[in-house]
Structure 1
């Protein structure tokens, strides 16, 4: 088998030589170029398995080479070398299609791992890139999601998955991991809202024996557990401010410091994150750090709600019922009225709610035929009930009455949105900031 061929583009001879020696020790054949002009000629002459380029070149920008590779050599992963601390530059390169980045001074351990991940993209061509049997649906929205997953699997860029609860955000994250070069390493999901605040640093970064009361032994953290794999931060909006700062540093430096130590440990983790909240609005409101938002949101994927893809409901129904009854049993079916009722229902809980509805209907139905009555769908109602009009009496107080009406409407909106303030504000037709003001004024915080 011929050795993989790598292209190194940098105007500094020392860095070219260091990178060349490192890659040759990994049994790669290497070509080097001091500028864009030379690199273009080399790329036109023969195919490469990997390209590593500096961002600043004498005759142009490393981003120009990234874009060229995306257009003419999309199957060749290209990584960029950036100045230390230039995270904005690295983010721009990832958005342009770079596979990954490494900072100066070049850490050879980090460089070797980057090369290993890049080469694995072409080492296993037999891996099935399709996800139609996992992420179900023939709607245009789902076809686009599946196509996006294939592209994202080839990158190491952080991915932010937004969407309502129950839309399958973790499933999307897991597929990105499973289709990429880290697939045989750990996929570590964590619900950021489920970890007690005082234990977060230890859970994420680990701790050493005796570092605090109850630390009876060394314990690795989530970053260590996901080393060379993927860390999925579900409900990332729930992270408190002090952990947002520490997480930002861990992502930027690719290193963590366990509680009770002074030395940082390097980590190789791909960050995938998700939340059902409006993270952009939380940034505007000062509840989420802007720098962390832009670091985890290099590439954004939106998981569509079920009401946006109602044509997928029959397929989802068949798949869910088959999973519930097993392969050996007859498959129950829905009559026309039941299917029509599901297609007209807004599904605030999305696919998760559909599964719950079908499980209940399966219990109530007879003769393997599910009717509309078996579904027990909630009755449609207006988002917010209009207040009842009253006639002022002798002792009537307008301010007190309006306050009670406002309180009742806000409480109903909060209950309807499961106490998601951003969603409640949208129901009420006001801004998140205005809702926070009213909650404080009415003592509802």
Structure 2
């Protein structure tokens, strides 16, 4: 099966989420991704909780459509094997702390000695310079340093709050995937190899600036703090659950009044214009909530939709699986992993006209593809046996042949 990136080979030395998510997105689009892991445990997410058949959900959901090659890069034979893999690679991705990959012998200069035109990608936590460059990094630290936790709180004066998902990790993965494809395109056009550098901190700050840093935009007129328009969100409690609705313009405002049967709000001077409705947002939201709590979600969604008010139910993680909108678009797929069993996964969100859907392959066992990939590089069976016995490579035993979903 082919995808838009069919024919691209990526060597993925990343672990955790940001790097693996980026390369999985590229694998979903047809790239051959070879996940290079330490034979002694591999990617840390392999040992995470919520496991089935020896596989953790976190690992499964960030590493499908890849091949696993286990190499001990502290062993010269393991490093030699990686250099052989580099000869035919288009992209090299690593997310070690700055300086570590150079000490391992695979900094940019060393890699280009083997593969001069390769796209070299370095993903870091806080960036390659500055007082935090060498610090260990996890998602909450980036949420704090980037200002995201304060944005989530609603005001600089409120207690900061974490977003309840690892947004910096995942956003960095999406940003890296886009940057890699841009670098590949540039190489195709100009024949110039690229070194793509990005950090979790960079990615989150750029993400926030589009909508949350207005108070910091004008250099000569910064606000001393970011004040909150309201500490209420746009979630409304009904008699049996929750819904959300958003009203942006006059047409939608009057549609809401019709749906709620509250035409008198239209004469309230506090709500006469969009600007005034924003200035008086607390009063507006409180009035809306006072009405919505009197009936069930289905009642309000029907009335709101009939009047053209943008609205939706607020679903739990379990409820979204069976929602008709999700089902109609085939967003959640059930697939059979040969070792972990029946899985649900979200399909790749982008689809391409004129390209076949890439065949789904479950995330591999550690070292599942070591022998096959190294044979393609010219290693014979006697050499592979010697390398395995010496601990230079790791090989998964007793794996089950992949089944089609």
Larger helix percent: 1
Which structure carries more relative contact order (alpha carbon 8 Å, separation 6+)?
Answer: 2
- Structure-1-length-normalised TM-score: 0.20
- Structure-2-length-normalised TM-score: 0.22
